[in-house]
Structure 1
Amino acid sequence: MTAPHSIPFALRRASAGSEGLTMIQFKLLGPVQLHVHGKIVDLGPPRQCSLLAALLVDPGRPLSIDTLIDRVWGDSPPVAARDAVYTYVARLRGLLTEATAGTDAPPVQVNRGSGGYLVSTPPGSVDLWHFMDLVDRARATDIDDPGRVEQLAAGLNLWNGSAMTGLDSEWARRLSESLHRLKHDVTADWADAEFRRGNHSLVINRLQTALLDEPLAEGLQERLIRAYFLNGETAQALRQYELTRRLIADELGADPSPSMRELHSRILRGDPPAMEAPVPPTVTVRAESTGHRPRGLAVAPDTLPLAPLGFSGRDTELATLTGMLTDDPAPRPVLVTGGAGVGKTALVLQAADCLRDQFPGGLLYADLADGSSTTPETVLGRLLTALGIPADAMPENLAERVNLYRARLARRRALVILDNAATEAQIIPLLPAGGASTALITSRFALGLTTVRTFVLHELSRTQGLQMLVATVGRARVLPEWEDAGTVADHCSGIPLALRAVACRMTARPHWTFARMLARISDEQRRLELVSYQALDMRASLDLTFERLDGIAARLFRELGRRMPGGTDFTAPELPGLSADEVEDAMDRLVDAYLLSEVGRDDTDRTIYRMLDIHRIYAKHLGD
C-alpha cells in the first residue's frame, strides 16, 4: 500500500541552547504553564490561560476576536465575551511584562493589529513548536543516522501528560486529540529507529508507559509485542498479544490488524519479524511560515462522530469500502446506499476511522437529514469553519462558498462524510473537486449521481446476524440456543438496527432466553415493538423513508402490506384508478427506496419483487 502523504512542518529552526528556550518556556504539551528561570508563573484564571494558549498556538499570526472567543468558549460564549477578551489581554500584557522583565530574551508581547491580537515569543520558547521542529528535523534525517532517534526522543521528552490539560473548550479538545495522535506516531517512529539499533529493552520501557494512557493504540501494542520477541521474551510477547486481542475484542468488537496477526504467526513459528524501514508517520498538525516566524498551527479538522462500538458482521463490506477509497491517489467519491437501519452510517464511520492515516488533511462530517440547518449554504458554512475560515471571512452566497470549500480541499487529502443525503441537489455542492480529497456519502435512496461510485449495502445473512448477537449478548447465552437465536435473527429481516435493538433488550433482561424472545417476536402484532429499543427505533427509521414517498408510491406500499402474505414473491398488483405503467413506475420508486427488491422475471417477462417481513409488517400497520 502506498504510504500516506506526509505534510511537512515549515518552522523556523530553533536553537536548543538558545537563551529564550532556557529562560522563558511556554508549556502546551501538558498543563498550560509559563516557566521563567525554571519557576512557574501564575497565568491567572482558566479562561485567561485558555486565551494565552490560543495565541501561543499561532505565534506571530493575528487572531480576530471572534476566533479567540470560539477557541476559549466554543459555541456557548457569555454575553460579555468581547469585554472578557479585552480584560484578559490587558491582564496578560501586564503579567508577561512583569514575569519576563529579568531575562535577556526578547520581550513577550501581546499586540493588536488590523487582523486582531497576536503574541510574539522568543525563538524556541514554546514547547509545542520545539517538539514540531525536532520531529521535522528527525524526519529529514537518514533512517540509520543516530541523530534521528535522539531528536525523536528529545521531542517526546518535552511531553508532560495530555496536551493543554485544564482547557475545556471544543477547540482545545480537538487540538489535544490531534496532537495526541501525532505523539503516538512519533513514538512509533522512535521505536522503529531504536529497533534498528537493537535497543529492544529501551523500547519496552517507553511503550509500557505510553500504553498506560492509550491501551487501544494498536500500532504501539504491535511494537511492544515485537520488542518482547526481539528481546528474547517470547512468552511475554505471546501474553501481550493475547491481552491486546481481548482488549480490542471487548472494547471495539473487532479483531487485531492483519499486521499484528502476521506478527503473532511469526512468533509462533519462531520466525524473527522483518525489520522494515519506518514509514514517515502521517502528520495531522502542520505549520506554515512566512519569513522566520511560524504563521500558525493548522490542525487537521476532525469532526467525525465516534464510530459505533460493537461493530461486527461487516468485515467483507468494510474491506471493500476502504479499498474503494485507497485504490487510487485521487479516489472518486463513494455513495453507500441501502435500506433503513441497514447500517450505512455505522459502516461509513468505521471505514473513516480505519482510514485516518490515509487522509492526513482531516475528516469532515455533515449530517444532511432534513431540517433548516441542512441547506447547502449552511452545511458549507460549518465545513468551512472546520477548515479554519473565520466568521468574518465567510462568503455570503452559495457559489462563493463552494469555490472556497473546493479550493481548501484541493490543497489537502481530506475525507468528507455526507450522511443521510436524500437528493442529488444536496450532495453536488459538497463534493470535493480536484486534488486528493474525496467524499463518503450515505443515502437510503438510490441516487443518480454519475460522478460517484455506488456501494449498495444489503441486509445481513443469518450467520452475520448471529455474529452480531454473539458480539452484543455474548457467546454464553447465544450458543446454547443457537437455532432459536438464528430464528430471532431471521425475524429481524437481517436489518442491523433491528438486531441491535433485540440484542440490547436481551442484554437489559439477562433472565430472558432466546426461546422466550422467539415466542414474542414471532407474533407479527408485536414485532415492530420488539425490534425497537429506546433510541434504536426501527419504526422511526422506516418513518423517515416512508415520509419521502410520493402519494402513489405510499398508497401502493400500504396495499402491498395488506395484500401480500409473508415469505412470498409477487408481481406488480393492479390498483383502481392507476394504469399498469403508473403502478410499475411506483414499484420502481419503492425499489429505489429499498422497500422492495427485484428478484427476477416471470414467464411473461414481468418483474418479480420481494418484500422484507419487517417492511411488510410496517406497511400493513401504517395508520394503526
Structure 2
Amino acid sequence: MIRLRLLGPVELVAGERGVEIGPPQRRAVLAALAVDAGRPVTADVLIRRVWGTSPPDGARRALHAHIARLRRLCEQTTNDGGDVQLCLVRRSGGYLLEAEADQVDVLRFRLLAGQGRETGRTDDDRAALLHEALRLWHGDPLADVGGQWAERVREAWRRQYVDITVGWAAVESRIGDPVTVIGPLTDLLDEFPLVEPLAETLMRALHAAGRGAEALDRFATLRRRLAEELGADPGPGLREAHRAILRGNPPAPARRTAHRKTYEPASHGSLPARPEPEPSPGPSPVTGRWPGALPAQLPMGVRSFTGRADELAQLDMILASTAVQPSAVVISALSGTAGVGKTALAVHWARRAQTAFPDGQLYVNLRGFGSAAAVMSPAEAVRGFLDAFGVPPARVPVGLEAQTGLYRSLLAGRRVLVVLDNARDAEQVRPLLPGAPGCLALVTSRRLLTGLAVAEGAHLLTVDLLTSGQARELLTGRLGVSRTSAEGAAVGEIVGRCAGLPLALAIVGARAAARPRFPLATLAEELRRAENRLDALDGGEVTSQVRAVFSWSYEALSPGAARLFRLLGVHPGPDAALPAIAALAGIPVSRAVALLAELVDGHLLTEHAPGRYTFHDLLRAYAVELVDAIDSDLERHTALHRLLDHYLHTAHTADVLLTPQPNPVPLPPAGPGAAPETLADHEQSQAWFAAEHTVLVAVAEQADARGFDRHSWQLAASLTTFLDRHGYWRVLAALQTSALKAARRQGDRAGQAGAHRGLGLALDRLGRGEDARGHYLLALDLFAELGSDAGQARTHQHLARMSAAQGSPQRALDHAGHSLRHYRAAADRAGQSAALNHIGWLSAQLGEHHEALGHCRQALDLAQETGDLNGQAHTWDSLGYIQHRLGRHAGAVDCYRRAVDLFHRTGERQSEAAGLLCLGDIHRVTDRPDAARTAWTRALAITDELALPDLDPLRTELLTRLDVRTGPASEQREQPLRSAVRAVPVRAVPETSAP
C-alpha cells in the first residue's frame, strides 16, 4: 500500500520503502493536497498554503511543475507494485488527491479517534482504538513544511493529539491500568504545562496508582503557574479532583474542562506499546464531522401489518449478528415478485428496529423497475442522502466516487440503517452501501441479488406469497372478524383469486371496506369473471389476477377518476403535485382534489407527501396500457402539451424571481387548462424548485423524446440557475446537451445560444475549462448575431469569473468590462450592479483600492434601486474589505455588519460566516477583543450548522482565532482572508429562461 505520512516529517511510503519526494517546496505542495484528500483544492488555495498571501510572480508556474512531478511520482510508485493507488487528478478548477483513509495517517488518526470516542463501545475497545490512533504520530506534524498555513494546521493537530491522549489515559485509568499512562501524561504536561485536562487526568492517574502526594504536588504547581501567568484559578475539574484526593475518595473519571492556553510545539512517540487491534475499515477521507441533522426517512408503515413472522425473525437474527461482527457491514437483500409486500416488510421491520440505529435511518425508492428513464441513478440517490444529512450544496464534491466517499465518511463510527427499496440490480446498489461497521443495509428487489451475496456477503431472503391463512388474516384485519366469518366461502375464493399477493388483497380489502354492505360473494364473482383476461401467476412477475384486480378497481371508478388515472400514465414521474395533475387533465384544482381522493381511497394512487402523489410502479404500467388503448393520439398529445406548458411557465416565473431581470423574454402563452402556478417571491421560487427539480428534469427529457423541442430547450434554460446554485452540474450538462440538439432541430438560434451558454457553465463547474470556453465563445457569437446584449453580458460574466479562478485577473477584468457595457446596453441595472461589483473586487485584489471603492459604490446604488438583496450583500462585503484595506476601520465594521445581515436574510450562510470572521478581525485590530470573540463564535456556530470540516479554510481560521488571546498585539497576524474563505463577491451569475 502507498501511504502518506503527515504526522511528523512529510513522507511517501510504498510498502516498507520510502519514496523520495523532492525539494521542500514540493513536499509542501503534497502536504497541502493531502490534508484535503478526497476533495478538490483550487490552485489559488494551494498557492496560499505553500507561498503565503503574497506569493512571488512565478508561484503558479512553480505549482504546475510540482503538480506534474507529483502526478508522475504517484503513477510510478503505483506501477512499481503499489496495490492501492494514490492518484493526483485535476478537478473543478483545482487538483484532487484520491486516497483512502488508511493511506493518509492524519485521516486514519481522526477515524480511529472518532471510533474510540463512540458511546456503546467497551472501555477495552475504546482504549485500543485511541492507543492505535496515537501511535500514528512520529514527530511534530508537517515538521519539514514552513509557513503560516502549516503552523496553523500544526497547532490544530497538536490540540487534537492532546485531547485524544487525555481521552485514552482516562479510559486506561478506568479499566485499572493507571501506571501505563503516567509517563506519557507527564511528558506531555511538561510541554503543555497550563492545559488543565492534562493535569487533571494525570492527578487522577497518580491517585489511582497510590501516588496521592505526588498528585497534590502537581495541583499546587499548576495553581501557582495559573496565577502567575494567567491570573486565574484552577477550573472546576481540577478542584474536584483535588478535593477527591484530599478526602481519599476512589478516583472518578476525568472531566473535560476548557483549555486555558494555546498549545505549543510538542514531540510525540512516548506511548507504551500495546497490542494493536485489527484495523477497522475506514471511509473515504472527505470529512470527519457529523452534521447536526440526523435523518429519519422511513416512510409510514402499513396499517394492520400481517404475517411474515419467519421473515421478521430472520431479520432480527441478522441484526443481532451485528453485535458479533463489529468489523462488517451487514447487508440483507429481500427479493420476490412485484406486489408481494417486500417494501411493506422492509419498512415494518425497519420501524421495529430503528432504536438500534440511533444515528439515523435512510430510505430511498430506487425505482428499479419503472421505465428506463425513471430508474434512479446511484448518483441521484447518494445526493439525496447527503441532502438528508444536511450537507450544504457547496460542500458536495463533484463526481459519484467523491460523493460516495463523503456519504460513507458521514456514516463512519455510527449506527445507521439504510433501506434501499426496489433496486434493479447489484450494480445500482453497491455505491449506496455503507462502508462503516455497525451500519446495516436492507435492500429490496424483484431480482435475486446473488452478486451481493458473492461479493459483499449479503444475506438473501426470499419474500414469498402469503399462505392462505396469512391472506385470510390480512383481509380480517381490514374488514373485521364478524364480516369475514360470516362469508367464509367468499373469503376463501377471494384469497385464491388473489393468489396470496398482498397488493391484490389490499385493493380488494379497500374496496370491500369502503362498501360495508357490499356482499363479499359479489366481489368474488367479479374476480371470477375477470379470470379469462390474463393468465395466472408465474414465477417471475405479477399475475393476471393482479391485473384483474386492477381492472376491477378501475372499472369501479367514476368516469372522471378513470380518465385522470389513465392520463397519469402520461406523466413521467417520479411523482406529481396537485397543480400539475390538474393541468394534465385540464381541470380545476378543486375538481382534481376530489378525483385524487377517489383514486387514493381505491389504493390506485398514493399521497406520499401532502399534495404529492405517486403510483406503485405496476399501477403506473397499468395506467400507461390503459391510456394507450383507450385515449386517442390527439388526446394524449394535448394532455402532455398542457403538462409541459404548466411546468415551463411556472419554472420561467420561478427563475425570473431568483435572478432579477429588467425585461425577461416572454414565452408564448400557455395553452388552455395549463394553469401555471403563481409564485410571489424568491422564497416561494426556491421552495418550488426544490420540490420539483427531479420532476422537471424528467419532464424535459420527455419533451425531448416526444418532439416538443421548444419546451425541451426552454425548460433547460429555466432550470439552469437552480441546478447551478445547488451543484447539480452533471444533470445540467446533460440537459443542456439535449437542449442544444433540440434548438438545432428547431433552427432556433436564440435557443442554441442559451444552450451553449448553459452547457459552458456546467462544464466550467465540472473543471473542463477549455470545453467550457469553447461553448462560451460560440454563445457570444450567436448572441452577437442576434443583437442580444443581455446574452453577451451574461456570457462575459461567466468568462470573467472563470478567468479569475484560473489566475488571470487582467483577462477577468477585460471580460467584466465587456459584461458591464452590454448590461448597460440592455438597460439591466441589476446586471450592471453585479458587473461593477465584480470589477471593484478584482481591482481591490490588484491593490487599486480607491478605484475599487468607486465601482462598488456604484454597484450598491444599483442593487438597492433594483431590490437585489443578494447583490447588495456581496457589494457591502466588498466595500467592507476595501475600507479595511484603506485603514477605515469604523466604515469597514458598518459595511460588514450590513453584509452579514443581508447574507442571513438571503440564506447565504457560508458568506455570512465569512463576513463575521472579517468583522471579528477588525474588532481585534481596533482593540475590542470581546466583540471580536462574539463575531467569531457566531461564525463558528454557522460552520457547525453547515457541517464544514475542521480543515476547511474558513473553519480553520475561526478555530485559530478563538484559541488565541485577542488584542492589538496580535494585529500582525491579520492577513487578507477573503480570497481564501469565500467566493468572489459577485451576485450569482444570472440565469434566465431566454437570452
Q: Tell me which structure has the larger Cα radius of gyration.
A: 2
Work out which structure has the larger RCO, using CA pairs closer than 8 Å and 6 or more positions apart in sequence.
1
Tell me which interval the TM-score lies in, with the shorter structure as reference length.
0.3 to 0.5
**Could you tell me the TM-score, scaled by structure 1's length?**
0.46
Higher strand share: 1
Higher helix share: 2
